[in-house]
Amino acid sequence: MTATTTRTSRDARTSREPLLQVRDLSVTFRRSGEEPFHAVSGVSFDVQPGQTVGLVGESGCGKSVTSLAIMGLLPKRGNTVTGEAVFEGTDLLKLSPKQMRDRRGRDVAMIFQDPLSSLNPVVPIGRQVTEVMERHQGLSRKEAEPKARELLDKVGIPDPSRRLKEYPHQLSGGMRQRALIAMALACAPRLLIADEPTTALDVTIQAQILTLLKDLVQDSDTALIMITHDLGVVAGLCDEVNVLYGGRIVERADRHDLFARPRHPYTHGLLASIPRLDSARGERLNPVPGSVADNLPWDHACAFAPRCSNAVEACRTTQPELERIEGGVETPRLLRCHNPISEEA
Amino acid sequence: MVGVMLLLSLLLFVWLRSLPGGPASAICGDRCNPAKLAQIKKTLGLDDPVIVQYLNFLKRAVTGDFGVSTGVQPGRSSMEIFVERLPATIELGVLAMIIAVAAGIPLGYLAARRRGGILDGLTLTSSLLGVAIPVFFTAFVLKYFFAVDWHLFPISGRQGDIEATRVTNFFVLDGLLTREWDAAWDALRHLILPAVTLATIPFSFVFRITRAAVLDVLDEDYVRTAEAKGLSSKVITRRHVLRNAMLPVVTIIGLQMGALLGGAILTETVFGFPGLGDALARAFTGRDYSMLQLLILMAAATYVVVNLLVDITYAYIDPRVRTR
Ligand SMILES: Nc1ncnc2c1ncn2[C@@H]1O[C@H](COP(=O)(O)OP(=O)(O)O)[C@@H](O)[C@H]1O
Ligand code: SF4
Ligand SMILES: [Mg+2]
């Protein structure tokens, strides 16, 4: 494991100084009377300033835990976090809770999956926007209000003056997510983490929110970690994509390379599951058979082996390492597989 | 609302009339004879059919005349006694509720924040004891130690031997209004033991509901959002956690106002505190129909008003209720 990550980090190092360097991040949950559970193991990736990086994988593969660990938002008890998350030279994981509190919302911001439950139902939208600026920019509520209006306008909320006074239940799902984006971007953070920001929304609204996010991060040169289970979301947004399986990165590639030539059988399955325009409406596509419940422990196997159509003998006895492979135009390609899908397939 | 009160008054009337004994025999006393009893019954109008009695009662009741007390303070108008004693019970109830809320909400919050800690265990146990131990037991214990044994507080009554001017009949308030500080302080000292006793009931509810509500709210996504914004713990606690956790607490405070009157009967009796609870206890033992009718109807009216207040407070805190 250690060997893998050192190699990874050397490979990923580029000429520019990365904004965020995640190194060998592992999160283990411990509950009394239960086996420790490794939700995330040895995850390493870089985010360059202004870059959009995708973290993709099925539900339960450790995407949210990864992002919450970086943000210092995991529950206070019952888990161990190891590794590094170096943001502009500071390891966020080593900061005291108070120091981290000063950075959250200012340097690194986050938006979540369900916009309704993510907003406080009894506080007006405006207050929930201004409170971030009051906290980090030393503004008074009065000074922050015009800025909040501008922000709502910027994220495409019509009639912002009225909306500021309204409560979350008075807004539509899409408007709520826009409001949350406004809150996240209020202090012009250099990194935004979006954890499945469109999963809870209608399909048409999803596209609007994705376009909005894309435009906003481009205009403000904000780096974005886009977390999703849907490779379709990644397609139009991410520069670089990390595919997670069972808490580990199994493939990393430039978006174009990944879509054109997926090498990992799991990535291949995910790609095949993107709904196409010509597929019947409501048709459930599930080309990756089985579920994460079938996973083997990574220690002596590939966790994906029980579900993999390419599995060979070694897959059940030896853990595949994350290794540099040929190809990759801008981003070096990384792959964790004993028997990858051939390039021509 | 008026309908409910009418129906209640009718049921109450019929029920009271069906009890054995009655005011006539109570007034008649030990050396009673049938002729005297009949005479008393006649003057009280107890010979008329129940429905006639009820209509007469209603007619007078709407003008605020609930008849003459026969048991609590025989001969005085029930309404007069009520008005005189009401401030005492309000003072007691309000102080008890203030103690319960002032202790229950912060302790409930802290217990939730340090779930499983020593504080959590201690307060949870004591709040359970608060429900499990009968009020009169608490009352006797507090009275015995703090008043009888250690002389820290007066044993009974609302006010000691002290010059005091009456303005509103709220003794503490009177003392403050007239700047008779010693009188206000003395009245407050009389209030403390009964109020603490009475507070044990609402305290345990306020504490446990706060604790449960805070635990629920801490798991909410919007608290995580607030943390993700890096807000200070003070703002997160007040604006995001407590404001939402207060919704069920407001409801329980309202419900407990009703329970307070029940507790006041025992508390006021033990501490010889001349309020409505004491009056109710005496009215029961003395079969004082007019007093009982008045007190129970007022209790019902209080309940209705408190419910209204709860709804208003709820709408104030929760915009979802307001715009529905
Ligand atoms: N607080 C927690 N305690 C125990 N296990 C957790 C906790 N949070 C997440 N997990 C587990 O960690 C794994 C990864 O979860 P998560 O990162 O939320 O997945 P996803 O990729 O869908 O966001 C899951 O198996 C989940 O059950
Ligand atoms: S290592 Fe083996 S089981 Fe795992 S993805 Fe590759 S081929 Fe499939
Ligand atoms: Mg998730």
Query: Same structural domain for residues A86 and A193?
Result: yes
Is it the case that residue B43 has pLDDT exceeding 80?
no
Residue A291's pLDDT is 80
pLDDT tens, A146-156? 999 999 999 99
Buried b (16+ CB within 10 A) or exposed e, B54-90: beebeeebeeeebbbbbbbbeeebbbebbebbbbbbe
Q: Please report the DSSP string for B262-312 in residue order.
A: HHHHHHHHHTT--SHHHHHHHHHHTT-HHHHHHHHHHHHHHHHHHHHHHHH
pLDDT tens, B161-202? 888 888 888 988 888 889 888 999 999 999 999 999 999 989
* Cβ atoms A194, A224 nearer than 8 A: yes
Closest residue by CA, ligand 1 atom 1 = A75
Q: Which range is least confidently modeled, A207-211, A280-284, A340-344? A: A280-284
Counting from 1 in the atom list of ligand 2, the atom nearest the Cα of A250 is 5
Is it the case that residue B253 has pLDDT exceeding 80?
yes
Query: Same structural domain for residues A157 and A89?
Result: no
Residues 231-250 of chain B with CB under 8 A from chain A are 231-232, 235, 239-240, 243-244
* Cβ atoms B314, B243 nearer than 8 A: no
Residue A330's pLDDT is 72
* Cβ atoms A65, A74 nearer than 8 A: yes
Nearest CA in chain B to A101: B230
ipTM of the prediction: 0.89
Q: How far is A288 from chain B (nearest CA, A)?
A: 31
Query: Same structural domain for residues A29 and A92?
Result: yes
| Ramachandran assignment for B62, one of left (phi > 0), alpha (psi -120 to 50 degrees), beta (any other) | alpha
Residue A320 CB less than 6 A away from ligand 2: yes
**Ligand 3 mean position, distance from CA A196 (Å):** 7
From residue B128, alpha-carbon distances to A112, B107, B193 in Å are 39, 14, 20
**Ligand 1 mean position, distance from CA A59 (Å):** 9
Q: How far is A95 from chain B (nearest CA, A)?
A: 13
pLDDT band at B109 (very low <50, low <70, confident <90, very high): very high
In a domain, A233, yes or no: yes
Of A6-15, A113-122, B5-14, the range with the highest mean pLDDT is A113-122
Is it the case that residue B324 has pLDDT exceeding 70?
no
pLDDT tens, A60-101? 999 999 999 999 999 988 999 999 999 999 999 999 999 999
Is it the case that residue B281 has pLDDT exceeding 80?
yes
Is it the case that residue A203 has pLDDT exceeding 70?
yes
Which chain A residues are Cβ-neighbours of B226 within 8 angstroms? Answer: 120
**Average pLDDT along chain A:** 89
**Ligand 3 mean position, distance from CA B318 (Å):** 29
Is it the case that residue B33 has pLDDT exceeding 50?
yes
- Contact flag B221-A114 (C-beta cutoff 8 Å): yes
**Average pLDDT along chain B:** 88
β-pairing, A240-245 vs A248-254, is antiparallel
Can you give the CATH number for the domain in which A21 is found?
3.40.50.300
* B229, B240, B244 ranked by CB distance to A132: nearest: B229
Is it the case that residue A14 has pLDDT exceeding 50?
no
Query: Same structural domain for residues A135 and A103?
Result: no
Residue A59 CB less than 6 A away from ligand 1: yes
**Ligand 1 mean position, distance from CA A223 (Å):** 24
Residue B7's pLDDT is 83
pLDDT band at A12 (very low <50, low <70, confident <90, very high): very low
In a domain, A344, yes or no: no
Q: Which range is least confidently modeled, A106-115, A160-169, B280-289? A: B280-289
- Contact flag A183-B229 (C-beta cutoff 8 Å): yes
Nearest CA in chain B to A100: B230
Better-predicted residue by pLDDT, A168 or B262: A168
Query: Same structural domain for residues A8 and A153?
Result: no
* Cβ atoms A49, A224 nearer than 8 A: no
- Contact flag B320-A169 (C-beta cutoff 8 Å): yes
pLDDT tens, A228-263? 998 888 888 999 999 999 999 999 999 989 998 899
Residue A344's pLDDT is 63
CA pair distance A186, A163, nearest whole angstrom: 16
The two structure tokens encoding residue A106: 């200012």
In a domain, A134, yes or no: yes
Across residues A19-45, what is the average pLDDT?
A: 94
Residue A51's pLDDT is 95
* Cβ atoms A255, A239 nearer than 8 A: yes
Q: Which range is least confidently modeled, A113-127, B102-116, B188-202, B288-302? A: B288-302
Residue A89 CB less than 6 A away from ligand 1: no
**Ligand 3 mean position, distance from CA A229 (Å):** 9
pTM value is 0.85
How many contacts, defined by CB atoms under 8 Å, are there between A and B? 84
In a domain, A341, yes or no: no
Query: Same structural domain for residues A6 and A100?
Result: yes
Counting from 1 in the atom list of ligand 2, the atom nearest the Cα of A315 is 2
Q: Within an 8 Å CB–CB cutoff, is residue B228 touching chain A?
A: yes
Residue A248 CB less than 6 A away from ligand 1: no
Residue A286's pLDDT is 60
Better-predicted residue by pLDDT, B68 or A72: A72
In a domain, A162, yes or no: yes
From the list A191, A99, A11, A53, the residue with the least C-alpha distance to A91 is: A99
Q: How far is B121 from chain A (nearest CA, A)?
A: 19
- Contact flag B221-A183 (C-beta cutoff 8 Å): no
> DSSP assignment, residue A261?
-
In a domain, A67, yes or no: yes
Is it the case that residue A201 has pLDDT exceeding 70?
yes
Closest residue by CA, ligand 1 atom 24 = A60
Is it the case that residue B156 has pLDDT exceeding 80?
yes
Query: Same structural domain for residues A130 and A65?
Result: no
Residue A3 phi, psi dihedral angles, 5° rounding = -55, -45
Q: Within an 8 Å CB–CB cutoff, is residue B114 touching chain A?
A: no
Query: Same structural domain for residues A102 and A144?
Result: no
The protein residues having their C-beta less than 5 angstroms from ligand 3 (an ion) are A 64
Query: Same structural domain for residues A90 and A204?
Result: yes
Ligand closest to A112 (CA) is: 3
In a domain, A318, yes or no: yes
CA pair distance A229, A251, nearest whole angstrom: 14
**Ligand 2 mean position, distance from CA A225 (Å):** 26
The two structure tokens encoding residue B113: 């924040």
Neighbours of B42 (CB within 10 A): 12
The beta-carbon contacts of B154-160 under 8 Å, at least 24 apart in sequence, are B154/B186, B154/B189, B154/B190, B155/B271, B155/B272, B156/B271, B156/B272, B156/B273, B157/B190, B157/B272, B157/B273, B157/B274, B158/B88, B158/B187, B158/B190, B158/B191, B158/B273, B158/B274, B159/B183, B159/B186, B159/B187, B159/B190, B160/B186, B160/B190
Domains present along chain B, CATH in parentheses: 2-61 (no CATH), 85-323 (1.10.3720.10)
Residue B280's pLDDT is 93
Q: What domain range is A168 assigned to?
A: 116-188
In a domain, A96, yes or no: yes
Across residues A23-42, what is the average pLDDT?
A: 92
Residue A100 phi, psi dihedral angles, 5° rounding = -65, -35
pLDDT tens, A264-304? 999 999 888 776 655 555 455 566 888 877 888 998 999 99
CA pair distance A54, A47, nearest whole angstrom: 10
Q: How far is B77 from chain A (nearest CA, A)?
A: 49
Query: Same structural domain for residues A197 and A65?
Result: yes
- Which residue among A298, A310, A318, A319 is best mutated to probe the pocket of ligand 2, counting the most ligand atoms within 8 A of its Cβ? A310
Q: How far is B201 from chain A (nearest CA, A)?
A: 29
Give how many domains chain A has, as a whole number. Answer: 3
Query: Same structural domain for residues A156 and A201?
Result: no
Query: Same structural domain for residues A133 and A256?
Result: no
Is it the case that residue A9 has pLDDT exceeding 50?
no
Is it the case that residue B289 has pLDDT exceeding 60?
yes
Neighbours of B169 (CB within 10 A): 16
Work out the percent of chain B whose per-residue pLDDT is above 90. Answer: 40
